[in-house]
Every structure is written in C-alpha cells, then in structure tokens.
Chain A
Amino acid sequence: MFKQACWNEPVIFQLGRKGRKGHMVPKADEEIRQTIDSALTAFPKEMLRRALPELPELSEVEVVRHYLRLSQMNYGVDLGFYPLGSCTMKYNPKLNDFLASNPSLTGLHPYQDESTVQGILEILSTLAKLLAEITGTFEVCLQPAAGAQGEFLGALIMRAHHKLNGNIQEKTELVVPDSAHGTNPASGTMAGFKIVVIPSSQEGCVDLEALKSAVSGHTAGLMLTNPNTLGVFEKDIEEIADVIHEAGGLLYYDGANLNAILGKVRPGDMGFDIVHINIHKTFGTPHGGGGPGAGPIGVSKELEQYLPVPRIAFDGKRYYFDHNKPRSIGKIRSFYGNVAVLLRAYAYILSLGAEGLEEVAEVSVLNANYLLKKLSSIRGLELPFARGRPRKHECVFSLKKLYRETGVRALDVAKRMLDYGIHAPTTYFPQIVEEALMIEPTEAFEKEELDRFVDIVRKISEEAYSKPETVLKAPRNAALGRLDEVKASHPKTMALSWRMHQEKPVCEYKQ
C-alpha cells in the first residue's frame, strides 16, 4: 500500500549552526578592493542594516538534504493520478523542461538590443500565431502571468471598448454564471464592474431566460466557461452570444476547459470576443506547486487595439517591438510575459501538431466519460444536472446521498483517496453541486490507472457504508494526518511566518 515519506523535517530555521555557509559568494578582485577602500562608508549610517537578517545558516549539503526531504513529502503528476477538476493536471513533457533550461533563454535580459534576441522573438511571435489559430482569435497577447491576470486584462479591454464607444457610464455590469470559477467575479470586480450572477438551469447550463432578464443596457459583457465547470457544453452558445451582443456587450471565454475542445471547435468561432488560455493547463507546462503559469489572451480584430504594449512585430526581415499603440490599456506587468513557461508551450504544440492536439481533446473527453460511466454505478454517488448528456473533459459527482446515508462527506472521501496514493479531485466546486467531487482525468492517464481509480472509489464507498471511521479518520498514509485549518486562520493562533510563531508560539513544535 502507498505510504508517503514522512521525514519529520524541522523548519529550516531550526537547522544548521552559526557560521556555516551553503554558498561561496565570488570575491571581488584584489584590484577592485584596492581602488575602492570601502564603498560602504559613503552610505549614510541610518540607511545601513544594523544587525544581520536572521536567516538560517546551513552548509550546502544540509540545504540539499532539507529540500529533497521536503520534496518527498509532496505529490506531483509525475507520481500518479491527479484528477483535480478544472486544473488539467496532465503530463508535463520532459523535453520542454530541458529546453527551458537552455542558457540562451535563462540568461536573456528583456532589454537587450533586438538584434540579439531574434530567436526568442521568433518563438514568441510564432507561438502567439499558433494560439490565435487554436482559439480562432485575431491576435494573441502573451503577457498575462496567469489565467486570472488574463481575465483582469480581458475585463479591462471591455472597459476600454465601452469607453471608446462613449458608453462606459452605462456599461457597468458584468454577468457571471453561478457555476463560474471564483476568479471570474473577482477579476470583474478588480476591473471596476458590478457582478451580476445568473443561476444555472436544470441542465447545469446558462438559463437563457435568466440570462435575458439579467441582461440590460448596463451589461458590459458575460464571462463564460465552455464546456462549463460541470463539464457540460453550453449548447445554446449561439443564442447566448446573440443576447450579449445585441445588448452591446462582449463575450469573454474562460479558457480553463479549453483542453476538451482543441481542434473540435474554437471559442472565436462561437462568438467569443476575448479568450484567455491557461498555458499550464492546456499546453502541459508544469504547475510548479501553484505557479508560474501563463495566461495569454486572444481577441477579435476590433479589440486588438487595446492589447498591452509592447507588441512583437515582424517587418519581413527581423522581429521588433512596437510600442506605438495609442489605445492600448498599457501594462499589466513588467516585460513580456512568463517566457520560460511560454517556450515550453511552443515545444508542446510543435510536438503534437493539429492531430495530436485533437487527440488530446478526444482522449481527455473519452477518459472523463469512461470514468463517468464506471463511477455512476457506485453506491452513494449521484450525477446532478444534465443526465444523459455526455460530459467533456470532466465530470462532477455529488456525494450528498453518501453523506446522508453514512455521515461521510466529500472532504472525507477526498482524504481517503490520498491513502491510496492518488491526489483527490477538486471538492466543493462548482458551488451549485452539494458535496461535489469534480473529476478531470485529462488525456495523460492510461486505462489501467482509470480502472484503479474506479476501484478505489468503490472501495471507499464500501468503507463508508461498512466502517465509516476508516474514511472519517483518513488519511493515514500521507505524510501527515488531517490538519487543523481553523487554527491556521484564527487570529489568536495563526502563524504566517517563523517570526510570528516565535513571538507568540501557537504550538509546541512537535514532529
């Protein structure tokens, strides 16, 4: 049975000894030292640090050992099944990591003369074109650091568009379905819009009537995920687009679920005006424990003028930056984007080509529907919304029945899954599903692993009905048992740094 390493590894501040060093800093040349006796004397005393920062002092080998031990207490896609719904935890090809460690990328400075960066500019420019083709948009901007920043940028472009049309005073509302990712309403608010939430239909999709009654002259746009967070395709997309466009609004595509439709249907063709792409989801770049990702956006021809500067252009001979875009919304970050992530996506698209990307979509959908079918027969699991309709890349089950009958919740089932050496699906999302388990297998796992997952879920269901304690007390095989998340957030007990912990220790440090 699976057993995660548990090293009882102390916090790094408790390791090492005074005087140890983990890295030899290069010395300044003797000549420099002689020329400059002490440069620091020129610094005003009140701006110099009085005491050394209280960083740990470790030798190199101790640092390596510490972080390697910690790595063994972490679970990644390379270790096994990771069906975290909405996050598209697919395989991250090793070649792409290798290419991203090339010194001709890692050592590049963003302000180098254009003649010295033609290679990377060609890669970025081509990637933008490939992404425009894949999404059916006119032009792609690679700058956003993540999907949520892409959303923010998209919402700012809506603002800029309505401003130019002279009706920003009226266009104050952004419509968001209740099944949307939390980033949608948060991004819309950041861009200054009032969020209007519309309820989902019985089918779990946009309710056209609800949409029509929510839409008015104040509607700036709609943010939509398609396929939506239930994994169901919004089949009324044409009508939805018409309602929004007739009201003078813009249609925004949340690209979280783009994986399911690669090569099948393009957001731009469905009437979306602005599309973001989660590079780390759809294009297989590593999620890095939470980031970095990249969240390029594609826009229609009409909206191209608002994209951030600078833009990469080509004059037939060489690539260059174009800063002359008077209607641009400006900047959302420094420089040009998360280039090391984008380069990996470029290699990913080249490896798969059009056929491979379509295969990605098909198999991710096949895998999700296979799981849907197999899991449906398991006691305590119910499939809410849109029964009988195929899902796309993910399916969402409700454990309401299991909870009612056994007292075992989705959270408990998720924890028990860890004991079997798999990562849990997303839980309690979308919020319209009670006791939700949101399962996205991606195309990257083999049938045998899917079957094993089904067996595990069946076993856990049996445990819930026969000996619920096993599930309620899980996990036992992860590095640690359940954590007190309330304590971590309570004003009286929270410790957000070693400093805070030392000032008012909240717990006897114990391993």
Chain B
Amino acid sequence: MAKTDAIHCYIPNSVPDVKRQMMKEIGITSIEELYVDVPRKFRLRTKLNLPAPASELEVKKHVEELLAKNKISRDMSVFLGAGCWPHYVPAVVDAVVQRAEFLTSYTPYQPEISQGILQSLFEYQSMICELTAMEVANSSMYDWASALGEAARMAARLTQRTEILIPRIVHSERLATLRTYADPAGLTIAPVGYDSDTGHLDIEDFKRKISRRTAAVYIENPSYLGFVETKAKEVAEETHDHKAMFIAGVDPISLGILKPPGEYGADIVVGEGQPLGSHMNYGGPLLGIFACRDDRQLIRQMPGRMIGMTTTLENNKTGFCMALQAREQHIRREKATSNICTNEALCALSSAVYLALLGPRGLKELGEIIVLKTSYTMKLLEKIESVRVPLFKSPHFKEFTVNFDAAEMTMQEIHEKMLRHGVQGGKHLNSEFPELGKTALYCVTETHSRAEIDSLAQTLNNVLQERS
C-alpha cells in the first residue's frame, strides 16, 4: 500500500525531509521497519474506508450544515427537562473554560505546574459543600446516574449490606444505571411506593421495607417529577436508626431556596451539576456531583478524584494537590474504590465559575424566579379543559406533571400537533409510570419568557380543541 507524502497541518514532522533525517538517526530507511513486529497476517492491506481528508473550510461547512438540521429553542419553544435542563450559561463561563491553559491540560499529576486547575477544582468542591451543607465533595463523576451507582456501592462497602431502597418515582435512566452498577456487586434495588395524592414517599411502605439488610436509603429533592419531598428528615432518622446510609439526590440549582441535604441528615449527596453553567449538548457531557460528611470512614470509601489544600515543602506557601490517591485505581488497582480516571473536570470548572458569578443572592433569586415561573405556568395550564396540572398536591420546582386523561387524543397526537405549532412539549411518562395515565413532565426555567409560556398555554388549548 503506497502512501503519498502528504503534509498534514496537525503533524509537523510529516515533511518528508524531516522524516528522512529522523529515520537516519534511528538507523532505518522506512517507517515500516518500526512495524516489523506486527504479524503480517493482521496488517491492513488496504486503506481504511474513510472519507478523503478534507480542508478546514470543507469540514466546517459540512458539520455546520448537519447541525443546521437540528432545531433548538431559537426555532421552537422547548419545555423539556428530566435530567438535562435549559439554563442560561453566562458568557464568562464559556470564556473561562475556553482558555487553552485549562482546556488542553490533563489530570494534574504535576501539581506545581497545575495550580490553576487544582485550585479551581478545590473551589468547585468547596462551593458544592456550601450548597449541599456537606464537608467533602469530589472533583466530579460522569453524571448523576453513575454517581448514584457509585454511592450505592460505597454504602454497601461501608455497611456490608446488600439492599438499596429507592423511591418508586425516579428517572428510569437513573434507575437503569443504578441497577447496572449495583448488580455485579450483588446489590438489590427495592422501590418504595408513593402517596398517590402528594407523590411523597409512602412512609408506611418505607417502614415495612427498611431492615437490617438495607445498606442505603435514597431520596431525591426535588423529585424526578418536580415536587418537593417533605419527609426527608423523617426518612433520614429512620434510616439512621437502622444503621443504614442516607443518600440524597439533588438538582443543585434548587439549593438557593431549598433546604440543603446536609441539614436533613444526608450521609452522601449526589446530583446533576449540568444546570450550573454547562450547556445541554444533547445530554453530554454532564457533571456528577458527589459529596459526603467529614467522616474518616466515608472519606476513605469515596470514589473519584479529590483535591486537597496543602503547603509547599520548602516555605510553607499554600497550594493544592490531589489528595487520598491511595483510594484510586492507578494506585490501588483491583482494590480501588472506583475505576474512574478521566472525569468531567472542565464541567466542574464551569460550575465553579457559575456559582462564583451568581453568588448566594443570585442563586436564591434564580430559584425564586424558577418557582414563580413554574407556578405561573401550572396556573395557566390548569385553566385548560381536559388537562390536569399537576398530578400531585405539592409545591413544585422547575418541573411538573401535566395529565391528558380527559383529552380525546393520544399523547402522540397531542405532541405532534404541538410540534407543528412550534412547541416541543414535555417528556412522556407513560412507559415509566403507566399508573399515571397520559402524563407528561414539563419543565420551565428562567430561560422561558412569559410570552413563550403564554403561547404554550394557548397552543395546548388550541390543539386540544381541534378535535372537539
């Protein structure tokens, strides 16, 4: 297979003359000699079947043309949440994370030359601690779902028990991920029912199910369906009475107004950091939050990378480095607390910048605005005939259920008609919660204008009347 002497702009030594000089130094006449130990029978005899190399302009045009086929909130109103939410990302966040010094660095194995990312990640960990009222946070997991999986395994290691209690109302993808992480460790997942009036955890069912087998009890606040779980403290106490770990899942953007899990007894906190300054990006990268109490036993079982404050050896200046690496895979190998290595550091940096920008007051204001808009939207939709909003009698944050049982159309019909009017409605819940009938999960944030919300109500009303 003959290769041409093309010169590639990402590959400085692709200049034939340079190559020849280097080969001469090595004592070879062809680069092929460096591949002599690759068995001939496996060697590729033809070129890979890939598109021909393209210029920057061609690639740019091609990718932009493909992306232009997508529709975003600029082209229609989108009321989707369910684990990935539309929040405004301040320009400063993008400006900081695009700094090549951060962007093109890697795991800070050499702390002296990596203080920038180390201090930023320490600040991220610290701000997550303030938000959640915990003392320790790691510097990121992949996402909420995998963080929950790791939390369940951590609780099982700490308690030497095998059952995890979780609310029946939980995101199906999060549940599926939890199962994937829990199964090989021999853990079982037991769902706890809910009060059909309020959506809250059914305390009777919970008390029936908690036992000496229970490694951890997990709740979420706000719940997957947007309502606030009020029984957190009661659940925490019962959990601790049974010497099990209490794990709380949070949407951190609610923590400017909602009680932090550290104040209702959480031992471990997980959550999704994407709302704090990361774009949706079609669902990835996300940012798994993972925090715990300042307890030596817990800290030793934490998964993931942690950055600690320390001093220089020589003149006692403050600095930062990776801490407790002996838990991690590159040291402990098969005995490590997790296999995670590459994580979501840059998203953690986004969150640090985001939280620094908003500050305590900004985050509170934002939380209030989201609650206002959520309430306003629910109130408008309530007025529509054949729509029930929300299904649960509880205060809601950012998300709420909309039920169409009284409508004559199917969910799919309603959805398609709405889409034709430029509205992407909420996520359909029928496969996750068949018992809730024709229900969708809607999401409203600070990014939705009143005009957009009004037009959602108008469109929904029109669509539902079309047939009657």
Task: Say which residue of A23, A263, A447 sits within 8 Å of B362 (CB atoms).
Answer: A23
Q: How far is the CB of B438 from chain A (nearest CB, A)?
A: 17
Among A64, A109, A289, A482, which residue has the most Cβ atoms of chain B within 10 A? Answer: A289
User: Is there an interface contact between B105 and A120, defined as CB atoms closer than 8 Å?
Assistant: no
Q: How far is the CB of B24 from chain A (nearest CB, A)?
A: 10
Query: A78 to B98, alpha carbons, bound, how many Å?
Result: 12
Task: Say which residue of B299, B312, B334 sits within 8 Å of A188 (CB atoms).
Answer: B334
Chain A residues within an 8 Å CB radius of B359: 16, 20-22, 55-58
Chain A, Cβ-Cβ closest to B175: A331
Query: A31 to B377, alpha carbons, bound, how many Å?
Result: 12
Q: Per-residue 0/1 for B55-96: is the Cβ within 8 Å of any A Cβ (1 yes, 0 no)?
A: 010011011101111111111101010111010101010111
Query: A21 to B86, alpha carbons, bound, how many Å?
Result: 22
User: Is there an interface contact between B308 and A292, defined as CB atoms closer than 8 Å?
Assistant: no
Q: Per-residue 0/1 for A24-46: is the Cβ within 8 Å of any B Cβ (1 yes, 0 no)?
A: 01111101110110011011101
Decide yes or no: A498 and B13 within 8 Å by CB, A108-B281, A488-B310 being known contacts: no
Query: A353 to B100, alpha carbons, bound, how many Å?
Result: 26
| Interface: A469 (CB within 8 A) | no
User: Is there an interface contact between A146 and B340, defined as CB atoms closer than 8 Å?
Assistant: yes
User: Is there an interface contact between A107 and B180, defined as CB atoms closer than 8 Å?
Assistant: no
Query: A448 to B114, alpha carbons, bound, how many Å?
Result: 25
Within 8 A of B (CB), among A441-487: 443-447, 473, 475, 478-485, 487
Q: Per-residue 0/1 for B38-49: is the Cβ within 8 Å of any A Cβ (1 yes, 0 no)?
A: 110111100111
Q: Per-residue 0/1 for A136-170: is the Cβ within 8 Å of any B Cβ (1 yes, 0 no)?
A: 00000000011111011000100100000000000
Query: A134 to B116, alpha carbons, bound, how many Å?
Result: 36
Task: Say which residue of B101, B136, B449 sits within 8 Å of A75 (CB atoms).
Answer: B101
User: Is there an interface contact between A95 and B86, defined as CB atoms closer than 8 Å?
Assistant: no
Task: Say which residue of A89, A117, A415 sits within 8 Å of B282 (CB atoms).
Answer: A117
| Interface: A4 (CB within 8 A) | yes
Within 8 A of A (CB), among B334-369: 334-336, 338-347, 349, 352-353, 355-366, 368-369
User: Is there an interface contact between A336 and B135, defined as CB atoms closer than 8 Å?
Assistant: no
Chain B residues within an 8 Å CB radius of A480: 111-112, 115, 312, 317, 319
User: Is there an interface contact between B112 and A67, defined as CB atoms closer than 8 Å?
Assistant: no
User: Is there an interface contact between B126 and A13, defined as CB atoms closer than 8 Å?
Assistant: yes
Q: How far is the CB of A274 from chain B (nearest CB, A)?
A: 15
Chain B, Cβ-Cβ closest to A426: B109
| Interface: A350 (CB within 8 A) | yes
Chain B residues within an 8 Å CB radius of A43: 228, 257-258, 371, 395
| Interface: B139 (CB within 8 A) | yes
Q: How far is the CB of A84 from chain B (nearest CB, A)?
A: 6
Among A206-214, A244-252, A355-363, A399-407, the one that faces the other chain is A355-363
Decide yes or no: A12 and B356 within 8 Å by CB, A235-B38, A291-B342 being known contacts: yes
Chain B residues within an 8 Å CB radius of A113: 415, 419, 424
Q: Per-residue 0/1 for A58-87: is the Cβ within 8 Å of any B Cβ (1 yes, 0 no)?
A: 101001101110111111111100101001
Q: How far is the CB of B4 from chain A (nearest CB, A)?
A: 7
The tally of CB-CB contacts under 8 A between chains A and B is 756
Q: How far is the CB of A44 from chain B (nearest CB, A)?
A: 5
Decide yes or no: A287 and B376 within 8 Å by CB, A53-B255, A331-B176 being known contacts: no
Q: How far is the CB of A65 from chain B (nearest CB, A)?
A: 11
| Interface: B12 (CB within 8 A) | yes
User: Is there an interface contact between B10 and A444, defined as CB atoms closer than 8 Å?
Assistant: yes
| Interface: B467 (CB within 8 A) | no
Decide yes or no: A507 and B316 within 8 Å by CB, A25-B362, A146-B343, A291-B346 being known contacts: yes
Chain B, Cβ-Cβ closest to A373: B26
Query: A302 to B262, alpha carbons, bound, how many Å?
Result: 48
User: Is there an interface contact between B260 and A351, defined as CB atoms closer than 8 Å?
Assistant: no
Q: Per-residue 0/1 for A92-116: is the Cβ within 8 Å of any B Cβ (1 yes, 0 no)?
A: 1101011101111111111111011
Chain A residues within an 8 Å CB radius of B78: 109, 112
| Interface: A123 (CB within 8 A) | yes
User: Is there an interface contact between A55 and B360, defined as CB atoms closer than 8 Å?
Assistant: yes
Q: How far is the CB of A409 from chain B (nearest CB, A)?
A: 14
Decide yes or no: A483 and B37 within 8 Å by CB, A68-B96, A365-B31, A511-B318 being known contacts: no
| Interface: B214 (CB within 8 A) | no
| Interface: B392 (CB within 8 A) | no
User: Is there an interface contact between A52 and B339, defined as CB atoms closer than 8 Å?
Assistant: no
Among A104, A233, A261, which residue has the most Cβ atoms of chain B within 10 A? Answer: A104
User: Is there an interface contact between A156 and B184, defined as CB atoms closer than 8 Å?
Assistant: yes
Task: Say which residue of A31, A70, A78 sits within 8 Å of B115 (CB atoms).
Answer: A70
Q: How far is the CB of B137 from chain A (nearest CB, A)?
A: 6
What 6 pairs between A and B have smallest CB-CB spacing?
A: A335-B283, A74-B116, A110-B283, A288-B346, A290-B345, A192-B184
Q: A52-B256, A362-B34 are in contact. List 6 more A-B contacts (CB 8 A).
A: A22-B92, A289-B102, A334-B143, A338-B281, A487-B311, A493-B310
A-B contact pairs, 15 of them (CB 8 A): A26-B446, A55-B355, A70-B120, A73-B115, A111-B82, A119-B70, A120-B70, A148-B342, A149-B146, A182-B331, A278-B342, A334-B173, A366-B19, A447-B12, A499-B135
